[in-house]
Amino acid sequence: MARYLDVHPHDPQPRTIAQVVAMLRDDALVAYPTDSCYAFGARMDSTTAAERIRRIRHLGDKHHFTLVCSDFAQLGQFVHLDNAAFRSIKAATPGPYTFILPATKEVPRRLAHPKKKTVGVRIPDNRVAQALVRELGEPLLSSTLLLPGHEEPMTEGWLIKEELHHLVDAVLDGGDTGTEPTTVVDWSEGYPEVVREGAGDPSRFA
């Protein structure tokens, strides 16, 4: 049965954030709010989380997981950036964008695309998500909370608890979120290609 923790969306209580981080460090899979919608979150080195997310979402092994980072300095440790990508991505973050880039050796092999060796990264403009990643001290392995058969991601914490209480270990309810997932921009070939239009304005990468 998932634990349900309510947190203030703009001034998240440190004690609640610490409780969730303690669970993450104990290999938990949690649901948490972002600036686009809710997402699954786990420690990057979790040995079980990626497969649990794949089972819940019915995903194949070529799914791009996302590393949610606290700031641009942290993001730069896990992906390779040329000057053009650096300038463009830095100008768009924090915000509702996911960028697909070549992974560095800091990224566990099981999280990178098996052929392309790429991974998604992002910096959300959401105080709960930012507090979670800062307290954890490392990127959060993440994936949009979009369930099979649903056209839109889940956006309300209490509904997520009702739907997923046997599939996740905790739900961090930080209020309602937007209804769109992030805009996904693939920078892995050295230029931006918008592969999914979502909450972020895609025109800046056209």
- Among residues 22, 20, 23, 26, the alpha carbon closest in space to that of 7 is found at 20
pLDDT of amino acid 114: 86
The string of pLDDT tens digits covering residues 49-106 is 999 999 999 998 878 899 999 999 999 999 999 999 999 999 999 999 999 999 999 9
pLDDT number for residue 142? 97
Two structure tokens written together for 139: 């990127």
Residues of the chain with pLDDT under 70: none
In this prediction, residue 110 carries a pLDDT of 86
CA–CA gap between residue 84 and residue 105 (Å, rounded): 22
Strand partners, 176: none
Predicted local confidence at residue 63, as pLDDT: 83
Domains located in the chain, CATH noted: 3-205 (3.90.870.10)
Kindly report the pTM of this predicted structure.
Answer: 0.94
Distance in angstroms (rounded) separating the CA atoms of residues 43 and 31: 12
State whether the Cα torsion 90-176-170-197 is positive or negative. negative
